[in-house]
Structure 1
Amino acid sequence: MSAPRGQFSSNIGFLMAAAGSAVGLGNIWGFPTNVAANGGAAFVLVYLIMAFLLAYPVLMAELTIGRHARRNMVQALRGIATGPINRFLGGLTGFGGILVASLILSFYAIVAGWMVAHLAEPFFSLAGVEGTAEWLSANSTARNLTFTALFSALTMLIIASGVEKGIERWSTLLMPSLMVLLLLLIVYVLTQEGAMEGLKVYLIPDLNQLSPELLPELLIDAMGQAFFSLSLGVGTMLIYGSYLSRQESLPRLGVLVTLIDVGIAFTAGLLILPAMYVAREAGTEIFDKAGNLIAEDQLVLQVLPALFDTMGTAGLFVAIAFFALMVIASLTSSISMLEVPVAFTIENLKIPRRLATPLVGLVIFAISSLIIFNFKALFLLIVTIATKFGQPLLGVALCIFAGWIWRRDQLLAELKKGHEDIEQTLFWKIWPWYVRIVCPLLILTAFAQSVM
């Protein structure tokens, strides 16, 4: 028999877990990189708009379906569907979400492994073990396999402990630690020469970036960032919603999760953008002659270590703090992604959590290993399939299920739990038709533009 379903023990526990899922490398690494590549503050402005016009409505669809069904993504979507065709499409969408979540975790674990290796490197440098320190900082198949396995094992260990004792407990511990480290690093970096120039680029929009020629690409990048950072379309928020108490107001919780995610993404920009310009002041090239960002996907691993090197011994301690921040951010997101296929395995195959977790985790690690051995051919391909195609299309499917397929009276009844007067609120007057018509059209328009 499978173990009984878990439940978050408090509002704070859910918020920390949901925020932890949203606040990962997509915020600490991806968001500032996108800001730097897309003209600074103009991207920040468009991202904030996308987060609330697109990401929040889809987040609400996932949370509401999840809490109503109290099942994994496949069973949840099949449960709200009517008729054999819709139930088939619900199962197909659910399996698609599980597949995309697994693919995202397969490349995410590799990048997180890099962070763990870079976290370990300063300790060996301080101990004088230079050979090991160089191996940890150099990109090699052996290093990548080792630390991807280490990070994957840590993720599995947390998920195997369950919802309250695993996901909630660790999220509640890790998220405050992340914020403390982030704020300490910001204070330190802003005292360095060159930081104010980066802060200016980050906070003062260049309106030329909002021209008709540049705006479509900016919108696509901002939408992709909002979806990826909030873990949307792949069922993570649906699963977390299924562990929520019936007494909680979903619209309020959704707003809080979005605000926390956007807030930490913005705060991360206050660290990374000034740090880039501090590194440039110290002699590190961050832009090419045409003004394009150098090595976008490797920005954090190229620019910041170069900055730490200019600080002497103090740089080793700053590096430890920074990569500890990155590991924490990686872990809070990875546990939510692993929970998606694990929940399906527990509930559909009736396998206990402590057995389902390593079984699923090892399958995903096998995919990660395949990517590592064929990195140039597979890494960007998997990233593109999962985030550029998978997440937006699954987001559209979830909007259709919440807006068109699920009976409106059942939807209203679910939202009334924890929010009795929901019918009188602005949320109920706007969200049902917005998620039904506006969200799918906006997402599909941006998706078509990105494909073309």
Structure 2
Amino acid sequence: MAQVRGRFASRLGFLMAAAGSAVGLGNVWGFPSQTANNGGGAFVVMYLVLAFLLAWPALMAELVIGRHGQANIVSSMSLGRGLTKRFGALAGWAGMLTASLILAFYAIVAGWLLGYTAAPVSEALGMSSAASWLTTFDFTRNVTLTAVFLGLTMAIVVGGVRGGIEKWSTRLMPVLLVLLVGLIGYVLTLPGADEGLRVYLTPQWDRIFDADLMLSAMGQAFFSLSLGVGAMLIYGSYLGPEQNLPRLGVLVTLIDVGIAFLAGLLVIPAMYAARHLGVEIFDAEGLLKSSDTLLFDTLPALFAQMGGAGDVLMVAFFALMSVAGITSSISMLEVPVSFVVERGWLGRRAATLAVGAAVMAVSLTIAANFGALFGLVIMLTTQYSQPLVALVMCLLVGWALSRHALLKEIQSGAPDIESSLFWKIWPWYVRLVCPLCIALVFAHSL
């Protein structure tokens, strides 16, 4: 097993890969949408607080399991003895299945993003029929673009940890950041954007302790770090013993919430700029329209009214979203691929092709029965399975690993950790507080 396991070549490589996994469509699009519907700046404040009170400790649990196990998700979660070990292994299987199912529907949406990225270019080249096909909901178009997106993901994962995941994460994350900052700079000059900026940055303090807002912020902070699907566990298993896990966890969380905050500076002002031009962004109840409507109807309508500059902005915006999608999808595909490789069933290339084909088959099934399966798969994975797997991870670290084993694992990269405030709080925090908070989020989602 040791012969087939990779390892990150540098701390930067891990940070870019882990941040890329966390910074997906849920951050770049989900966070701004949640903010606009939950008190604006009040939601931002609560999200930032809970990202470090809940998400970071839970992230630490997943990283610890990964580096301690130095193996795939099923093997790493087989902690303890007897029933506890079997229960952990079962949760590992559930996490691997969850990651695969999320990737199946995620690839469909990401395929649409590729289509919207290419459409203005096709139009500029005089291929109007191709541009229309790229942005029209259709089974053939959905399947084709899904296959393209999964193909890109597989091409990266087949290269392994250093030659694929680390190499491309360190390239794609700076591209994502440059696109994000550049788009923010332009959008903030548009008429109406200042209103969106006020909504985003001005907290409604009377709502900050609203129960629904707090639970929504807790859920967003938790899920924005890709917890509960095994991605962070697998990336943690590729870390050497010399790496300081608490410090890396803080840095990943900072990058994640930082990019989420920047995404809000882009999306919410852009929505209000669209409203200024007459594009309706709210429904009859005064809430933002659904995320897919805003993403694939509202913003393209804004870009369409801006002439040639709008075409450039549309390409840049959807390229940004596509990059965010790919950096997350490679971590989700790596979860089952690492399992197949380490069990000795297939080599990495064959495992990547086999798992990718299996995910494509699920995507094809969802696309063929879109109305019945798309929302159902999202609900089963993100609302049920993902929080439950994350809950088990916290319980395993808190109860199945002895305090001595836990300390020894973290001390390998942080020799002075025993005397720190982190060690005085985190072990009981991840044992009691994190499971309780995750359970509350899960109950709220029901």
Q: Same fold (TM over 0.5)?
A: yes
**1:158 matched to which residue of 2?**
156
Mapped to 1, the partners of 2:380 and 2:264 lie a distance apart of 27
Secondary structure of 2:77's counterpart equals helix
Query: 181, 190, 193: which is aligned to 2:191?
Result: 193
The question of 1:268 aligning with 2:274 is answered no
Deviation larger for 135-144 or 257-266: 135-144
Give per-residue Cα distances to partners, 1:98-119, cap 9 Å, x unaligned: 0111111111101100100001
Aligned residue type for 1:429: K
Is the CA contact 2:33–2:291 (under 8 Å) kept in the aligned structure 1? Answer: yes
Is the CA contact 2:7–2:238 (under 8 Å) kept in the aligned structure 1? Answer: yes
The question of 1:53 aligning with 2:48 is answered no
Alignment of 1:108-127 (within 5 A): 108-127=106-125
**2:168 matched to which residue of 1?**
170
Deviation at 1:186, TM superposition (A): 0.3
Percent of aligned pairs sharing the same letter = 56
Deviation at 1:315, TM superposition (A): 0.8
Aligned residue type for 2:22: A
The question of 1:373 aligning with 2:368 is answered yes
Aligned residue type for 1:190: L
Deviation at 1:52, TM superposition (A): 1.1
**2:82 matched to which residue of 1?**
84
Secondary structure of 2:189's counterpart equals coil
Q: How many residue pairs align between the two structures?
A: 446
Deviation larger for 44-53 or 172-181: 44-53
RMSD: 1.3
**1:148 matched to which residue of 2?**
146
Secondary structure of 1:285's counterpart equals coil
Alignment of 1:9-48 (within 5 A): 9-48=9-48
Secondary structure of 2:289's counterpart equals coil
Name the TM-score, length of structure 1 as normaliser. 0.96
Mapped to 2, the partners of 1:349 and 1:37 lie a distance apart of 48
Mapped to 2, the partners of 1:365 and 1:217 lie a distance apart of 36
Alignment of 1:405-420 (within 5 A): 405-420=400-415
Deviation at 1:222, TM superposition (A): 1.9
Mapped to 2, the partners of 1:68 and 1:441 lie a distance apart of 24
Is the CA contact 2:208–2:214 (under 8 Å) kept in the aligned structure 1? Answer: no
Aligned residue type for 1:383: I
Deviation at 1:2, TM superposition (A): 9.1
**1:344 matched to which residue of 2?**
339
Deviation at 1:3, TM superposition (A): 5.5
**1:66 matched to which residue of 2?**
66
Query: 411, 423, 426: which is aligned to 1:431?
Result: 426
Deviation larger for 287-296 or 8-17: 287-296
**2:280 matched to which residue of 1?**
285
The question of 1:361 aligning with 2:390 is answered no
Aligned residue type for 1:255: V
Deviation at 1:401, TM superposition (A): 0.2
**1:333 matched to which residue of 2?**
328
Deviation at 1:207, TM superposition (A): 2.6
Mapped to 2, the partners of 1:249 and 1:230 lie a distance apart of 19
Mapped to 1, the partners of 2:263 and 2:418 lie a distance apart of 37
**1:449 matched to which residue of 2?**
444
Deviation at 1:288, TM superposition (A): 2.4
Is the CA contact 1:33–1:299 (under 8 Å) kept in the aligned structure 2? Answer: no
Mapped to 2, the partners of 1:208 and 1:379 lie a distance apart of 37
Aligned residue type for 2:68: H
Query: 207, 210, 218: which is aligned to 2:208?
Result: 210
Give per-residue Cα distances to partners, 1:81-125, cap 9 Å, x unaligned: 2x2211110110100100111111111101100100001101111
Deviation at 1:445, TM superposition (A): 2.1
Aligned residue type for 2:121: F
Mapped to 2, the partners of 1:191 and 1:166 lie a distance apart of 38
Deviation at 1:305, TM superposition (A): 0.4
Mapped to 2, the partners of 1:264 and 1:129 lie a distance apart of 35
Aligned residue type for 1:195: A
Unaligned 5+ segments in structure 2 are none
Query: 370, 378, 383: which is aligned to 1:383?
Result: 378
Aligned residue type for 1:202: Y
Alignment of 1:240-319 (within 5 A): 240-319=235-314
The question of 1:97 aligning with 2:95 is answered yes
Give per-residue Cα distances to partners, 1:411-435, cap 9 Å, x unaligned: 1101001110100011100000000
Detail structure 1 runs of 4+ shifted over 6 Å in the superposition: none
Mapped to 2, the partners of 1:389 and 1:193 lie a distance apart of 41
The question of 1:324 aligning with 2:322 is answered no
Deviation at 1:148, TM superposition (A): 0.3
Deviation at 1:24, TM superposition (A): 1.0
